[in-house]
Structure 1
Amino acid sequence: MSYYMIRNKYLTFLGMGLLFMASACNDGYEKEPVEHFTLDYVFSRVDSAGIQSRYFLNNIYLEHLYSGYNRIDGDFLDAASDDAISIDNNSPEIYKLFMGRYSAVSRLRDMEWGAYYQGIRKANILINNIDVVPFNLTYVNALGETKPLNYTMKAEARFLRAYFYFELVKRYGGVPLVGDNVYVLGDDVQLPRNTFAQCIDYIIGELDEIKDDLRSLPMSDATEFAHAPTKETCLAMKARVLLYAASPLFNEKPLEAGNELIGYASYDSQRWNLAAQAAKDLIDQYGPKGKGTLNLAQDYRNIFINFYGGNNPELIFFRPVGKNKNIETVNGPLGFSGNSLGNGNTNPTQNLVESFLMKDGKKPGESTKYIYNSVDDPFKDRDPRLDLTVLHNGSRWLNTTLDTKVGGTHNPSGAQYSRTCYYMAKFMKNYQALGNYEDDTHLWVIYRYGEVLLNYAEALNEVAIAGGMIDYKEVISSLVQLRKRAGIEPGDDNNYGLPTPETYDPIEMRDIIRNERRIEMAFEEQRYWDIRRWRIAETIFEKPLRGLSIQVVGTKTNYHEVDVLSAKFDTKRYFYPIPYSEVIKNGNMIQNPNW
């Protein structure tokens, strides 16, 4: 059925995923009435401002570009990794995700299948119809050309479609590619899954085709369109997609050899070269030595609370969350009240805390300058990012020194308590000296320059592991930039605790890069996927998640590690099960291994 045949059909917004939400204005997007529209109304031939079609596009962002803040029924996705656990003991969704208590029938919040395909369907509707709108509005594309607004709207829709496909692929492997088709209720859709390689090729092809039709940073119309993807966003996404595609789960160590639905048919080390080059292209074109529009923000904390602009050059793509204090009240420490009340949802693990380095960039226990005292004062002289990521006993918060021992002021005894004696600090405003939580702008950062540096370092180092020739200084430089911004001391060799080119060992550097990524991007929905694409989840979860037991004897506080949660990782969980309903109604749909 062509889109012309359905032009005058009413869109069933609830059933087909096209309901405009009146609350959109509260989430950084335009407000829309809750009613049904025809395609002729949305894509009007007389609407030269394209008002309704722009609302339609904004609705795709609003409904399908998710914020990771407490996304899994009040919890961060990282609480299903080894970096955190939920304060809730009553088997919340995130606990079931961590424990593997799900199936093709009993599905959980992160197992988005229909929602992403709804987003793809909406994008296709816009792609097929936007050109009939007689725009008198223009924009400047990445090539510096002035074009009608529909050019970038179509490119944005294609970007979002590619983004949704990648979200599906990293969860399920290869999925059906529907092209530009818009299916309606009653259509007999029996599409088979495309291979993993076909999906990756499609996503990369889309990004390459649309990048110049998007805007480029800095935007001249950023006040209205700062949330929109740019050419830089395309390049950042390309670098991430190719990094995943080169990773062991899909390339070197597939879950099921020869199964092209969940990985490549054979290993190819050249995929690491492609990933490294994609990241390098973005760095060279738009980093400090290129156009200079991208760089690391000076203040690590402010990456997540400052709106796009010259004072935050790190942001590449983000999801506006609005001006509120929800992050603080959901995750802030227990033991406060009124406008300082916190629920303490996200409890970082000792596993995460011990990954943070000492101030000289060395591991705890390996520094010759700073003595690590795990019993008496484990937080002294640590990587400054620790205090910006984790609240611990003795942290300053809300003009108070936190007492997080069980039964302490900020970890009271009872049904609700921090199971690790830690709370999350990241994403929140600096409340060390303030007495109350205040409404503030929050952003869910999807792509940032810091990740691009990490992607480049990882991919380039893997090229070396595979036997390729690289410049070790390139890898070291990427990590130095992050450590320098973090406040790590340069040391006598000005190498910020990293190996020199003369002492460089690619295998050792792999562990350093992975740990740096864990620290730098904690709680940004990276760790959960990283331990999967690296094929290390079963090894990671051989060990229990740990917290602290804090004991006060006289005037002395002692810290002892305790096990708080354990779960074995079944390798079938590297991919989610495809919904049972999809397998039953589509005879061509093949389920993932062992589901």
Structure 2
Amino acid sequence: MKNKNILIQTNNKLSAIRYGAIAFLLMLSLASCKKYLDIVPDNVATLDNAFSLRNEAEKYLFTCYSFMPSNGNPLANMGYMTGDEIWTSLDEREFISEGWRIARGNQNAANPLFNSWSDGDRSLSKNYWQAIRNCNIFLENVSDETKIPDLQLDERKRWIAEVKFLKAYYNFLLMRMYGPIPIVDTNLPISASEDEVKVKRMPFDDCVNYVVGLLDQATPDLPQRIRDKTLELGRITQPIALAIKAKVLLTAASPLFNGNSDYSGFKDKDGIALFNTTYDANKWKKAADAAKAAIDASEAAGFKLYTFPGTTAMKISDSTKRQLTIKGALTERFGLNSETVWGNPNSTTGFLQGVAMPRLDGANPVPVGQARQQLAPPIKIAEMFYSKNGVPINEDKTLDFTNRYSLRKAVKAERFYIKEGYTTARLNFDREPRFYADLAFDGSTFFKYDSPGNTDEGTYTVEAKSNQISGANNFGWYNETGYFVKKVVDWNMAHSENNVTYRSYAWPELRLADLYLMYAEALNESLGSPSQEVFDYINRIRSRAGLLSVEVSWSNYSTSPAKYTTKDGMRQIIQQERMIEMAFEGSRYWDIKRWKRAAELFNQPITGWSIYQPTSEEYYRVRTIFNQNFISPRDYLWPIRTYDLTVNRKLVQNPGW
């Protein structure tokens, strides 16, 4: 990327390292860069040298970390562009997304996109079998107490626990993509026969049990919290391990993997069923128990929902403070953010912010190449957020959204959300605070650190019609739908006529809000009807977002006032709450698939405003941009590359591919 201020991507060097044979992987390359958690051992002639001294072994530990997904990069985050949450321009100007090509129906078995089974590092994907192989090498050597004589016992136990966690995590990422996978617990010797290296896929429940077992082994030897934040921030702790265990069990309990009759005929070549198609309600109980254990451990370690601490340098309204709280839960720096249970210091967000940021008006506009405004949520995502009364817009009995595409002019009382006197769509009025914190649109305010007058009165405005500064008037660097992803841009962003500064932040792999939502979902499913505890954990998130409780909102404002009192109704509420709270973090794609709702939601048209028009009357006409075509059940699981099936004839392909 040309603009160094914001479009910084990791420069990788490839170190070819041969260590013997494992399954269907004979020789692979390690991608790395010279910084913490992303190190490949240099000048290591043999594995004996790699594990002869502590310093060399630590490099190999960081090699195991180096396969962590780069989720702070929208091109590398496998869930970010892959569903229906964010669209972009067909020009793909310096923005080539394999995920977005999957969203447009281009996944295939001959040369799969985001191929983490056998490719890796093509378009920033990772080869997780290579990662597991390196973890096995590490565990085999570090578990041998005759090696690394200068490594203390307590540190040895911690390192082993970290790598067991990483091995479990990489297995889970493969399971989430492909379903049943082979279990490669130890590396095969160089003398292994041809038949031995051809491993086969194991039943999905066996894979879950294996991953959970590794996490259970790892947890006791991990620290409760990171005390040396300068040197160790990002390494694995007990709350992280417990949280990923909860996520694994929640995935296994969900409809895609729990009693799914679509996979009744999915068997290996020995006739062994790879899915148990009998529904097991106890899986939800296990997931709920695991999520509660993760919450307890996280809160004991000092984690809590983030609240913007305020600023003495600027005079801002309570409305703007609320937006900064909502945004800050994602964008506040790791180590300072009370909500980030797990952040990845080597997956930062300068590029993400640059491709999300709209160009703004003012005496010194944001330079074109440093605010590319390419991330564009469809109108249906804007419609997903609640009304200001905290219920879906199609349920609010006090606010009429029937003519939501009609025009309305903002009044002074709305000035902290929409510029006073500006005409925009009815859809953009009377919405919850997360709508205004997460999205920008034609006429919306955009408060940031260098806002004029050090106040949110008369701050920056997005003006997005074709003849305006944020409009579709630059090849490839424009917004396709008329909605911009505001949430991911840290409020400390500042610009001048010639320069832009984005304060980059480590990508949060796991927030406490995610755990609260996981627990509420699993607990609701495990009970006959929702309990007060289910309400309480959802209400913690709603309260932080400035909304009334579920009980009050639905009782007073919804056309379905009793909806929250039933398991089915509360399930709908929890799912929408999750899609709103976790919006633009790469979660929606995986959630919709595990809920088995992709055939419903990924087959709706992608729509946006008529962005090439100059007037309000012309601009605010809904246009269809693309008709998605999700094929069920085929597209729920990704294909294994056809070539890999010919190399290892014990493998079977996923259904439909």
Q: When the two structures are superposed, what TM-score results if normalisation uses the length of structure 1?
A: 0.85
> Are residues 10 and 66 of structure 1, via their aligned partners in 2, closer, same or farther at CA, if it must alter by over 3 Å?
closer
Cα separation, 2, equivalents of 1:513 and 1:526: 14
Residue 391 of structure 1: SS of its match in structure 2? strand
Gaps of 5+ in 2: 1-16, 120-126, 268-272, 308-324, 408-425, 452-459
AA matched with 2:217: E
| 2:304 match | 295
AA matched with 1:569: F
Q: Does 1:437 align with 2:463?
A: no
Task: Using the TM superposition, name which of 571-580 and 381-390 deviates more.
Answer: 381-390
Does the 8 Å contact 1:357/1:382 carry over to 2? Answer: yes
Does the 8 Å contact 1:391/1:423 carry over to 2? Answer: yes
| 2:81 match | 79
| 2:445 match | 396
Q: Does 1:243 align with 2:241?
A: no
| 1:348 match | 377
AA matched with 1:181: N
Cα separation, 2, equivalents of 1:208 and 1:276: 16
> Are residues 172 and 552 of structure 1, via their aligned partners in 2, closer, same or farther at CA, if it must alter by over 3 Å?
closer
Does the 8 Å contact 1:155/1:214 carry over to 2? Answer: yes
Deviation, structure 1 residue 16: 4.0
Question: Which of 144, 148, 157 does residue 163 from structure 2 map onto?
Answer: 157
Cα separation, 1, equivalents of 2:149 and 2:437: 46
Does the 8 Å contact 1:544/1:567 carry over to 2? Answer: yes
Does the 8 Å contact 1:85/1:349 carry over to 2? Answer: yes
Q: Does 1:328 align with 2:330?
A: no
| 1:60 match | 64
Q: Does 1:230 align with 2:237?
A: yes
Question: Identity of counterpart residues, as a percentage?
Answer: 28
Task: Using the TM superposition, name which of 231-240 and 551-560 deviates more.
Answer: 551-560
CA RMSD, Structure 1 to Structure 2 (Å): 3.3
> Are residues 101 and 11 of structure 1, via their aligned partners in 2, closer, same or farther at CA, if it must alter by over 3 Å?
same
**C-alpha distance after superposition, 1:567-590 (max 9, x if no partner):** 221121111111222211112111
> Are residues 76 and 556 of structure 1, via their aligned partners in 2, closer, same or farther at CA, if it must alter by over 3 Å?
farther
| 2:521 match | 458
AA matched with 1:359: K
Residue 103 of structure 2: SS of its match in structure 1? helix
Cα separation, 2, equivalents of 1:384 and 1:564: 28
Gaps of 5+ in 1: 1-8, 139-146
| 1:306 match | 332
> Are residues 104 and 508 of structure 1, via their aligned partners in 2, closer, same or farther at CA, if it must alter by over 3 Å?
same
Does the 8 Å contact 2:367/2:500 carry over to 1? Answer: no
Cα separation, 2, equivalents of 1:89 and 1:555: 25
Does the 8 Å contact 1:333/1:410 carry over to 2? Answer: yes
Does the 8 Å contact 1:72/1:110 carry over to 2? Answer: no
| 1:485 match | 544
| 2:578 match | 517
Deviation, structure 1 residue 231: 1.1
Residue 610 of structure 2: SS of its match in structure 1? strand
What does 1:165-564 align with in structure 2 at a 5 Å threshold? 165-182=171-188, 188=194, 189-217=197-225, 219-259=226-266, 263-287=275-299, 291=300, 293-298=302-307, 299-309=325-335, 311-321=336-346, 325-334=350-359, 337-338=366-367, 341-368=370-397, 372=401, 373-376=404-407, 377-397=426-446, 399=451, 400-413=460-473, 415-416=475-476, 417-430=478-491, 435=496, 437-464=500-527, 468=528, 472-489=531-548, 493=552, 504-549=565-610, 559-564=620-625
> Are residues 94 and 491 of structure 1, via their aligned partners in 2, closer, same or farther at CA, if it must alter by over 3 Å?
closer
Cα separation, 2, equivalents of 1:491 and 1:509: 9
| 1:109 match | 114
**C-alpha distance after superposition, 1:440-482 (max 9, x if no partner):** 2322222221111111111122223xxx3x5521111111011
**C-alpha distance after superposition, 1:139-158 (max 9, x if no partner):** xxxxxxxx521111111111
**C-alpha distance after superposition, 1:152-209 (max 9, x if no partner):** 1111111111101111111111111111225659963111111111100100111111
> Are residues 183 and 166 of structure 1, via their aligned partners in 2, closer, same or farther at CA, if it must alter by over 3 Å?
farther
Q: Does 1:589 align with 2:595?
A: no
Deviation, structure 1 residue 525: 1.9
Cα separation, 2, equivalents of 1:111 and 1:136: 36
**C-alpha distance after superposition, 1:11-36 (max 9, x if no partner):** 49998446473x332xx546667544
> Are residues 554 and 229 of structure 1, via their aligned partners in 2, closer, same or farther at CA, if it must alter by over 3 Å?
closer
**C-alpha distance after superposition, 1:388-414 (max 9, x if no partner):** 222211233464311112343212335
Cα separation, 1, equivalents of 2:191 and 2:107: 29
Does the 8 Å contact 2:81/2:87 carry over to 1? Answer: yes
Residue 317 of structure 1: SS of its match in structure 2? strand
Q: When the two structures are superposed, what TM-score results if normalisation uses the length of structure 2?
A: 0.77
Deviation, structure 1 residue 312: 2.2
AA matched with 1:573: D
Task: Using the TM superposition, name which of 553-562 and 524-533 deviates more.
Answer: 553-562
Deviation, structure 1 residue 254: 3.9
> Are residues 100 and 197 of structure 1, via their aligned partners in 2, closer, same or farther at CA, if it must alter by over 3 Å?
same
What does 1:35-50 align with in structure 2 at a 5 Å threshold? 35-44=43-52, 47=53, 50=54
| 1:98 match | 103
> Are residues 116 and 343 of structure 1, via their aligned partners in 2, closer, same or farther at CA, if it must alter by over 3 Å?
same
Cα separation, 1, equivalents of 2:394 and 2:490: 31
